[in-house]
Amino acid sequence: MKKKTQARILFLFIFLFQLNINSPATTPRRLLLVCDTNSNLSYLSPIETRKLFLNVPVVKSGVRLKPLRNISDPLISDIFLQKVIFMSKRSYERKLLSRIFRYGGKNIPVYSKIHKLKAELHLTPEAVTYMWSDQVENDNNLKSLGVLWEDSN
Amino acid sequence: MVYHNHTGKFLYILIVITSICYAPVSWGGGTGKFLVLPNINGSYRSDPDEVDYEFAADLFATFELNQFRFLGEYFLSNEEQELERFQLGLSFNSNLLWLGRFHNPIGYWNTQFHHGSFFETSISRPAIVEFEDDGGILPLHQSGLLMEGAFNHGEQTLGYSMSIAAGPDFNNKLEPWDVLDPGSGTHDISTTLNLYLDPILSTSVLAGLFINYTEIPSDAIDVHDIQQINFGIYGNWESESWRLIASSFYVYNEVNRLTRSEDDTFFSAYLQAEYNHSDNWIFYGRVEGTVGEGNDAYLALFPEYVEDKILGGIRYDFVSNNALKLEISGNHTDEDDFAHVMLQWSAVF
């Protein structure tokens, strides 16, 4: 290996190491269930959350909740499937399609851009979604309905 | 139903439902979904020695606007075409009230998979829940009112479906009311109650029971009408790798002929086991059996009814929403024993 290449690799290692020690590791990452602050919702139980994202009607205080899927981060999708839905992606997609095939209606909207997801939450007080805690804490228009997952490391 | 007679009607309906689904703006923000579920089947039957094929597509459309819902399912193949479901619904809380033609909420299979081959792991349906057009012996389509919903109790959900509707008539096979030809046939009452427990938090087990009463007018020469009561239980169990589907049916029939009445009962059950080897491969098998079928006056009207069956199959899922299936079965009817080999490609788009 040429000396120049070795130097580049060494620099990369040092850079990545610096990144790691400078990261705010003291605040564990959490995945939160969230809605708009204008919503009357204050809490959703695990069973209600699971039902909601299986596209089963969930009515709170006379209002039918509207689930929004967040696929802006692959890690969010994985955690959501493992901790809330308990299914593989394929099984989940098929379950949703199968439910529409049986009962009709519409599928759960999917958002890959966080700003569009937040915009929809602000427009729809009955909408519920999930996102990282730091994305919620920096936004005064959002409130947490519970913790879906917390990084234990 | 003859294919060419309804081609125009089919195209008309296709245009209407497609327009509904793809014009959400003009409907004030409502949204819809349109699915196409094609399948190609090839099969070999040992006795009589014959090879058969089928090209089919199941077209499904749904539209929702506030509390109102529409659902339509149109099945067409090289052998038949029929508007299988046509439902207008009103949703309130966790309940849905439907008006139209729908699948009888009898047992488990009939309301889980409908005509979408892709959603069924297997190629064939259990004989007891075979569609009327394919020689089925139970009323699997009804036309009238259907109410379905759920009540929550802790982690359990008590679901229900109940219908009061027009059932099929009998003319050498059961014929449900035809939405596209509403004046055809003579139809009488068919009513069903289905209750089930669904532990939605784990989704590992679903169990239920059902009862159906149907009066079946007859156009057959020596049968005036048939009164039928059937009831049973069912269950669906799923783990990461396994799925079991089972159901039993106890069927009572009173066949009223012009000169006399005959009443009899029989019992039928099936168990299907599926093993998910990976995300792509599923191995499955099913056993079906009928008891008390000997000299049953009602079953005698359906000589092709498969009383006992054992089958094994493989399903391979690829490119997200395509599936290839191979199925081999041994079948026993009242007069025949035969082997059946089936190959199917199915998909959903």
pLDDT in tens, B135-158: 999 999 999 999 999 887 777 788
Q: In chain A, which among 107-146 make CB contacts under 8 A with chain B?
A: 107
**Cα first-last separation, chain A:** 37
> Nearest CA to CA, how far is A141 from chain B (Å)?
24
C-alpha–C-alpha distance, residues A146 and B202, integer Å: 20
DSSP H or E run through A144: strand A142-150
Are the C-beta atoms of residues A107 and A100 closer than 8 Å to each other? yes
Contacts of residue B202 in chain A, CB cutoff 8 Å?
A: 86
Give the pLDDT confidence score for residue B152 in this predicted structure: 77
Give the pLDDT confidence score for residue B18 in this predicted structure: 54
C-alpha–C-alpha distance, residues B92 and B248, integer Å: 32
Nearest to A101 among B35, B150, B152 (CB): B35
Nearest to A100 among B62, B111, B157 (CB): B62
Would you call A123 helix, strand, or coil by DSSP?
Answer: helix
pLDDT of residue B287 exceeding 50:
yes
Q: Per the CB < 8 Å rule, is A98 touching B94?
A: no
Instruction: Provide the token pair at B33.
Output: 């979904």
pLDDT of residue B24 exceeding 50:
no
User: Which residues of chain A register pLDDT less than 70?
Assistant: 1-27, 153
Q: Is the CB of B155 inside 8 Å of chain A's CB atoms?
A: yes
Instruction: Provide the token pair at B243.
Output: 């799925």
Question: pLDDT tens-digit profile of B254-286?
Answer: 999 988 899 999 999 999 999 999 878 999 999
Chain centroid offset of residue A133 CA: 10
Q: Per the CB < 8 Å rule, is B32 touching A86?
A: no
pLDDT of residue B134 exceeding 80:
yes
Are the C-beta atoms of residues B248 and B233 closer than 8 Å to each other? yes
Number of helices and strands in chain A (H, E): 6, 8
DSSP H or E run through B44: strand B31-45
Count of CB atoms situated within 10 Å of the CB of A123: 9
Give the pLDDT confidence score for residue B111 in this predicted structure: 87
> Nearest CA to CA, how far is A136 from chain B (Å)?
26
ipTM: 0.84
Instruction: Provide the token pair at B146.
Output: 């259907």
Contacts of residue B159 in chain A, CB cutoff 8 Å?
A: none
Give the pLDDT confidence score for residue A86 in this predicted structure: 85
Q: In chain B, which among 242-301 make CB contacts under 8 A with chain A?
A: 279
Question: pLDDT tens-digit profile of B211-267?
Answer: 999 999 998 878 899 999 999 999 999 888 899 999 999 999 999 998 889 999 999
Q: Per the CB < 8 Å rule, is B62 touching A47?
A: no
Give the pLDDT confidence score for residue B7 in this predicted structure: 53
Give the pLDDT confidence score for residue B17 in this predicted structure: 55
Residue of B203, B320, B349 to mutate when probing chain A, most A C-beta within 10 A: B203
Q: Is the CB of A102 inside 8 Å of chain B's CB atoms?
A: yes
Q: Per the CB < 8 Å rule, is B112 touching A86?
A: no
Q: DSSP string spanning B244-272?
A: EEEEEEEEEEEEEESS-EEEEEEEEEEEE
Whole-model pTM: value is 0.82
What 8-state DSSP symbol labels residue B78?
S
C-alpha–C-alpha distance, residues B135 and A7, integer Å: 77
Question: pLDDT tens-digit profile of B48-105?
Answer: 889 999 999 999 999 988 889 999 999 999 888 889 999 999 998 789 999 999 999 9
Give Cα separations from A100 to A151, B103, B172 (angstroms). 34, 15, 34
Q: Is the CB of B338 inside 8 Å of chain A's CB atoms?
A: no
Q: CB-side exposure of B182: number of CA atoms within 13 Å?
A: 6
Cis peptide bond upstream of B48, omega within 30: yes
| Higher-pLDDT residue of B329, B21 | B329
